Structure 1
Amino acid sequence: MERPILRHGANTREGDLMANIAEMVKELQQQRDRLDQAIGALAPLAGIIKTSSAQGGAGGPRRTLSAAARRKVSLAQKARWAGLR
């Protein structure tokens, strides 16, 4: 069975829908940019400071546990699991 040949403009509904969606995405991105600028201007006035940890980066040096502390945590967790069984 052969597929019908689509002529230019034969499927305008789909083309219009895609154009509308693309336009909506563009407008939403512009709104987001304006909101980001407004937040950037207002945040310092409110005393809100973005930290690297709030942005997803490392918040500082990692704290490590000593071997004794790791063992204590391990034993406590094993006791919790044993209590649930």
Structure 2
Amino acid sequence: MEKLLTPKDAAEILSLSPVTIKKWLWQGKLKGIKVGSVWRIKESDLKAFLRTGNDDEEKLSRDDLEAVKRGLEDIKAGRYVTLEEYEQDKRP
């Protein structure tokens, strides 16, 4: 029997928020199964989604996600830099 993933499981695999996964399920961008009031995603459907290279604007690369995480860390620490400095990775 094939493994069924929750939106949270899929979000962790894709390094995205569960809200984005649920939005994609509702929009049909990501194939899923509605069981009662909850969504489940076949592992094979998630793999197929990854293989298709969905160039959706909302899908971020791992590098983009890391940049966002670093930016949030900087903001929390009170470190602010210009966009040019940030792009050159000249963080304080």
TM-score range, shorter chain: under 0.3
Give the number of the structure whose residues are more often helix, by fraction. 1
The structure with the greater share of residues assigned to strand is: 2
Normalised by the length of structure 2, the TM-score is 0.24
Normalised TM-score (structure 1): 0.26
